[in-house]
C-alpha cells in the first residue's frame, strides 16, 4: 500500500463525503478508493469511517486522523515547492469563512487587499452563521469570535471585540435609559441569536458576573436584522461593537450599560496547517492581523 496516496484518498473521502466523488476527484475508480481506505484501516487497526448504503460518516478517531493526514500532505507540498524553487510564491485558491455580518463588514478590505497584492490567487468567501468543519468543508481559514474549545486547529489571534447594548435615541427617550442590567426585563428587547442567548444576557459588576434575564419581543438569527430594528426605534439589542461602529459614530444608535460590559472577546484565525502553513494562508492571516489591529 502506498501510504501517502492512501492518506490523500482518505482525506478526499472525508471532504467529498463519499467514495464515488472522492474517486472522481483523485482520478481513480470507486473500488480503488474503497480498497485504499480499507487497507489504511487494516494497517492502523482502527475504524476511520462508518459506511452505510447512503452515507459515509467519519468516526471520532477518523476525524483526528484526517486532520493529521492533511497536515502531513501540506508539509509534503511545501517540501516539493521548496525543491522546485516556488516556495515563496503565493498562488492558488483560498477558501475563507466567517460569520455573515462580521465577514462582510470587516473582512472586505482584507480580501481585496490580498487579491491586489497576489495576482495569482483567488478567494471564495463563505459568510455563514453556523459552525463550520474546516476539513470536511474544504476551508483554508476560519475567523472565529469568542473563546475557543480545545481542538486540532491552529489558532492565530487577530483582534478583540466586545458586546454592546444599544438602542436608537428616540427609543431611549420614549422608554427610558436602563441604568442596571436588571432593568432590561422591563424593556423591549431585540435578541441577535448569533451573538447571545435570547433568555439572558451576561454582564459584569466589577469582578462579579451578572446574568440578566430578558424577554425578547423580537428574536432573530440575523444580526443585520437586529441592528435594523434597533435603528428603527423598536428596542434594545446587543451586538458586537465592530458591526455597529458606523451607527454609534453617527448617533443613530446609542450604547447603554457600558460600565457593565463583560471582558472583550478574542477573534482568531483558524487553519489546519500548523506552524508551517502554506504561503497563501500565511499571507492572508498576516494581512488580516495588520488591518484589524490597525483599525
Cα–Cα distance measured from residue 63 to residue 48, given in angstroms and rounded to the nearest whole number: 8
Fold match between 92-159+265-294 and 163-260? yes
**259 vs 295 pLDDT, higher one:** 259
Cell, residue 34 = 474503497
Model pLDDT, residue 272: 79
Q: Which long-range contacts (CB under 8 A, 24 or more apart) does 54-57 make?
A: 55/17, 55/18, 56/13, 56/17, 56/18, 56/19
3-state secondary structure of 167: strand
Q: What is the pLDDT of residue 131?
A: 80
Q: Is residue 161 a contact partner of residue 241, using CB atoms and an 8 Å limit?
A: yes
CA angle 3, 7, 9 (to 5 degrees): 115
Identify the sign of the CA torsion 132, 65, 270, 200: positive
Cα(219)–Cα(190) distance, rounded to whole angstroms? Answer: 6
Asked if 191 and 218 count as a contact pair (C-beta separation under 8 A), the reply is yes
Amino acid 78: pLDDT: 67
CA distance 238 to 257: 11
The answer to whether 254 and 123 are in contact (CB under 8 A) is no
Contacts of 105 (CB under 8 A, 6+ apart): 242, 243
Report percent pLDDT > 90 for the chain: 44
For residues 259 and 152, the model is more confident at: 259
- What's residue 220's pLDDT? 93
Q: How many CA atoms lie within 13 A of 170 on its CB side?
A: 7
**Residue 170 pLDDT:** 96
pLDDT tens-digit map of 224-261: 999 999 999 999 999 999 899 999 999 999 999 999 99
- How high is the pLDDT of residue 183? 95
Residues in contact with 287: Cβ distance below 8 Å, sequence separation at least 6, in sequence order: 110, 113, 114, 117
CATH number, domain 3-83: 1.10.10.10
When the pLDDT of each residue in the chain is averaged and rounded to a whole number, the result is 87
pLDDT, tens digit (0-9, with 9 covering 90-100), for 164-221: 999 999 999 999 999 999 999 999 999 998 888 778 899 999 888 999 999 999 999 8
Tens-place pLDDT, residues 17-66: 888 888 888 888 888 888 888 888 888 888 888 887 677 888 888 888 88
Domain boundaries defined on the chain: 3-83, 92-159+265-294, 163-260
Fold topology of 163-260? D-Maltodextrin-Binding Protein; domain 2 (3.40.190)
Fold held by 92-159+265-294 = D-Maltodextrin-Binding Protein; domain 2 (3.40.190)
Predicted confidence (pLDDT) per residue in 77-123, tens digit: 767 766 555 556 788 889 999 988 889 888 999 999 999 999 999 99
Which conformational region is residue 92 in: left (phi greater than 0), alpha (psi within -120 to 50 degrees), or beta?
left
Q: What is the pLDDT of residue 82?
A: 62
Extract the C-alpha cell encoding 201: 444576557
CA-based R_g, the chain, Å: 23
Q: Distance of alpha carbon 116 from its chain centroid, rounded?
A: 23
Helix (H) or strand (E) holding 212: strand 208-213
Strand partners of residue 155: 270
Among candidate residues 276, 273, 277, 281, the one with its CA nearest the CA of residue 68 = 273
Amino acid at each position: 500500500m502506498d501510504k501517502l496516496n492512501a492518506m490523500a484518498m482518505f482525506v478526499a473521502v472525508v471532504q467529498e463525503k463519499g467514495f464515488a466523488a472522492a474517486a472522481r476527484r483523485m482520478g481513480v475508480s470507486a473500488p480503488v478508493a474503497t480498497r485504499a481506505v480499507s487497507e489504511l484501516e487494516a494497517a492502523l487497526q482502527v475504524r476511520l469511517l462508518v459506511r452505510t448504503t447512503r452515507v459515509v460518516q467519519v468516526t471520532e478517531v477518523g476525524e483526528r486522523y484526517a486532520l493529521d493526514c492533511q497536515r502531513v500532505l501540506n508539509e509534503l507540498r511545501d517540501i516539493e515547492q521548496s525543491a522546485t524553487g516556488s516556495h515563496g510564491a503565493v498562488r492558488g485558491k483560498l477558501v475563507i469563512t466567517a460569520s455573515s455580518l462580521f465577514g462582510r463588514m470587516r473582512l472586505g478590505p482584507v480580501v481585496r487587499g490580498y487579491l491586489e497584492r497576489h495576482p495569482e490567487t483567488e478567494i471564495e468567501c463563505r459568510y455563514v452563521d453556523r459552525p463550520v468543519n474546516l476539513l470536511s468543508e474544504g476551508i483554508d481559514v476560519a475567523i472565529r469570535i469568542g473563546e475557543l474549545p480545545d481542538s486540532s486547529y491552529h489558532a492565530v489571534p487577530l483582534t478583540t471585540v466586545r458586546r454592546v447594548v444599544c438602542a436608537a435615541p428616540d427609543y431611549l427617550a420614549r422608554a427610558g435609559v436602563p441604568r442596571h442590567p436588571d432593568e432590561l426585563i422591563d424593556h423591549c428587547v431585540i435578541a441577535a441569536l448569533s451573538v447571545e442567548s435570547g433568555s439572558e444576557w451576561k454582564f459584569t459588576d466589577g469582578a462579579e458576573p451578572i446574568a440578566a434575564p430578558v424577554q425578547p419581543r423580537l428574536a432573530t438569527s440575523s444580526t443585520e436584522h437586529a441592528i435594523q430594528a434597533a435603528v428603527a426605534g423598536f428596542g434594545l439589542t446587543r451586538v458586537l461593537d465592530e458591526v455597529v461602529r458606523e451607527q454609534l459614530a453617527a448617533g443613530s444608535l446609542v450604547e447603554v450599560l457600558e460600565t457593565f460590559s463583560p471582558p472583550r472577546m478574542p477573534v482568531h484565525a483558524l487553519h489546519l496547517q500548523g506552524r508551517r502553513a502554506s504561503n497563501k494562508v500565511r499571507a492572508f492571516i498576516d494581512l488580516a492581523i495588520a488591518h484589524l489591529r490597525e483599525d
